[in-house]
Structure 1
Amino acid sequence: MLGYLILALCTAMYALGIVAQGLAARRTGDRVDSRLGFLARLLSDPLYLLGFAGQAGGFVLAYFARASLPLYLVQAGSSAAVGVAAIFGAVVLGWRLRRLEVGVLVVMACGLVLLAGSSETSQAREISPELGVLLLAVLLACAAAVVYLSRSGPALLLAVLAGVAFSMVAIISRAVADQPLLEVPLHPLAWLMVLSAVVGQAALALALRTGSVTSMVASMDATTVVLASVTGIAALGDRIAAGRQWWVTLGLALVVAGVLALGTLRETRTGVAVSAG
C-alpha cells in the first residue's frame, strides 16, 4: 500500500509543478524574443523555480514508487497529473472545465483503476550492458536534436523529445530504485538518469514557450508512458496479475487517449488549464 500512496502524492506534486511552470512560461514568453534568452530568463523566475521544485518532488516520489510498482502504473499515474492540474485550476484558480473535458478526466480515472487492479509489486531486473549502451546513444541523439531545434524547431517535436528523455529517466530509475540510497550515486546509470532529466527539462521548457502548455505536457507524457511501459514489461520484468493483461492494454489506452484528448481540447493562455469555451 505504501507504494500506491507514494504514487498518489507524486501525481499531486507533478500537477502543482505543471501549473506553476505553465504560468511562468506564459508570462516570460511575452517578454523575450529568442528561445535561448527565454530559457535563461525562465530559470530566474521564482514561479518557474517553484514549479521546478514541484516537478523535482514528483520525480523523487516517483523514484521511490518505482522500487516496487511496475512502470506502466507509475508512468500512467504521473501522466495523470495533467488532469489533476486541470482540476486544481478549476477548483482553486477559477478556470472553467467543459463537460467534454470532465468526461475525459473520467476516462483517465477508469484507465488508472484498471492499471492499479492489474499491477503486481516486484523488483526490476538489472539493465543489461546492451540496453545501457542503447540508452546512452538515445540520450546523445536526443540532446543533439534539442540543441538543433532550440532556435526555431516545432514545439510538438520538442515535447516528444522531452518524453523520450523522461522515459529514459523512468526506465533507469526503475532498475536502480531498490538499491541503498547511499550507493545510487556510485552507479554509472544514475548519472545517465540525471543527464536524461536535464535534457528532458530543457526540451519541455523550450516547447512551453510557443506551444499550448497542456498540449505539450500531454504529448510529452503520452510518449513517456508508451516507451517506459513497453520497456518495463519487455526488458525489466514488470509483472501483471494473472489473466489481466488486457486490463493493462485497455488501461494504458484509456490514460494515453485521455492525456492526448485533454491536451487537444484545452487552450492555455495564462496557465495550464484555461478553457477556451
Structure 2
Amino acid sequence: MTGYLELAASAVMYALGVVAQSVASRRADDDLGGPGLLARLARDRLYLLGFAGQLGGFALAFLARADLPLYLVQAGSSCAVGLATLFGVLVLGWRVRPVEVAVLAVMALGLVLLVAAATPSTARDLPPLAAFVLFGLPLALLAAAQRKVRAVVPLAAFAGLAFAVVAITSRTIADEPLPTLPLNALAWLMVAAALVGQSYLALGLRRGSATSTAATMDATTVVVTSVIGIAALGDRVVPGREWWVVLGVGLVVSGVLLLGSADRLAATPVRVAG
C-alpha cells in the first residue's frame, strides 16, 4: 500500500511542477537552448518551485519503483497532465471543453485497469556495463544533438526517452540501501539521464504548450518503460490480466496525447507577468 500512496503523491507533485515550469519557461525573454536556457531559468523562483515539485515527484516515484512495475508507475506519473488540467481549472481559471473531461475519465479508467493488473515485485538487476552500452551511448547522442533540434514534438519525445532511462535505471536500484547509491554506477547514469531530460523538457516548454509537451514526453516514456519493464526487468502482471495492461497503457497514452493535442493549458499561463 505504501508504494501506491507514494505514486499518488508523486503524480500530484509532478502536476504542480509542470504547471509552474511552463509559466516560467514561456516568460523567458530569450530563445536559448540547453544550458543557456536552464541557467536563465535557474534565477526564476517560479521555475525553481516547479523544479522542486518535479524533484519531489521523482523521489516519490523512485521509492514506488522499488515494489511497483514500471507500467503502473509511469502511467500514474503521466496522469499528472490530467491533474495539471484540474489544477489550472480550479486555481488559474483555465477553461476545458466537455471532450477534455471525457479524456480525463478515459485516463482514469486506464489507470484503474493497471492498478488492478499490477503485482508488486522487485526488478531484476541490470548489469552496469550493459546499461551503459544500451542506454548511455544513446543518451550521449541525445545530449550532443540538442542544439540541432528545433521542433516541439522531437524535443518532447527526446525528453521522454531520457526520462525512460531514468525510470529503467531507477527501477533496478530502488530497492538498494540509499547510502550505497552514490557508489552505484547506475545511479550516476540515472542522474545524467535526468539532466538531459530536464534540459529537453525546459526547451520544449519554452517553444510549446505545457500539455502538448508533457503529453508527448509522457507517452514516449510510458510505452518504452512498459515494454522494457515486462520484457527485461521482470515486471509482473496478475495471471489472466495481461490484456488489462495492454488496454490500460493504451487508454492512458491515448488520453495524454488527446489532452495534449487539445492545447488548452497554454492559454492562460503565458499571460502571467514575470
- Which of 217, 226, 229 lines up with 1:229 in the alignment? 226
Give the structure 2 partner of residue 156 of structure 1. Answer: 153
AA of the residue aligned to 1:14: Y
How far has the Cα of 1:273 moved from its partner? 10
Residue 51 of structure 2 is aligned to residue 52 of structure 1: yes
Question: Residues 197 and 51 of structure 1: is their aligned pair in 2 closer, same or farther, counting only changes over 3 Å?
Answer: same
- Structure 1 residue 266 corresponds to structure 2 residue 231: no
For the Cα contact (< 8 Å) 1:165–1:197, is it kept in 2? yes
Structure 1 range deviating more: 215-224 or 91-100 = 91-100
CA deviation string 1:109-156 (max 9, x = no partner): 00000000000000000013434421111211111122433xxx2121
CA contact (8 A) 1:172 1:189 kept: yes
Distance change in 2, residues 1:33/1:186 (3 Å): closer
Aligned length: 269
Runs of 4+ in 1 over 4 A off after TM superposition: 270-274
1:110 corresponds to 2:109: yes
**Correspondent of 1:191 among 184, 188, 192:** 188
Paired position in structure 1 for 2:96: 97
2:138 matched to 1:141? no
Query: Structure 2 length normalisation: TM-score?
Result: 0.94
Conservation of the 8 A alpha-carbon contact between 1:18 and 1:272:
no
Hey, what does 2:124 align to over in structure 1?
Answer: 125
Amino acid aligned to 1:48: Y
The normalised TM-score by structure 1 is 0.93
Structure 1: gaps spanning 5 or more residues: none
Retained in 2: the 8 A contact 1:22–1:271? Answer: no
Map Cα deviations across residues 147-182 of structure 1 (whole Å, 9 max, x no partner): 433xxx212111111000000000000000000000
Mean CA deviation greater in 128-137 or 53-62: 128-137
Q: Aligned partners of 1:255 and 1:272: how far apart in 2?
A: 25
Is 216-225 or 130-139 further displaced after alignment?
130-139
Partner of 1:214: 211
For residues 162-173 of structure 1, what are the structure 2 equivalents within 5 Å?
Answer: 162-173=159-170
Comparing 162-171 and 206-215, the one that deviates more: 206-215
C-alpha deviation, 1:207, in angstroms:
1.0
2:18 is matched with which residue?
18
Alpha-carbon distance change, 5 to 113 in structure 1, aligned in 2, over 3 angstroms:
same
Matched position secondary structure for 2:27: helix
What CA deviation, in whole Å up to 9, does each residue of 1:228-249 have, x standing for no partner? Answer: 1111001100000000000000
> SS of 1:127's equivalent?
coil
Quote the Cα distance in structure 2 between the aligned partners of 1:40 and 1:271. 25
Tell me, yes or no, if the aligned pair for 1:162 and 1:204 is still in contact at 8 Å: yes
- How many Å separate the matches in 2 of 1:272 and 1:117? 36
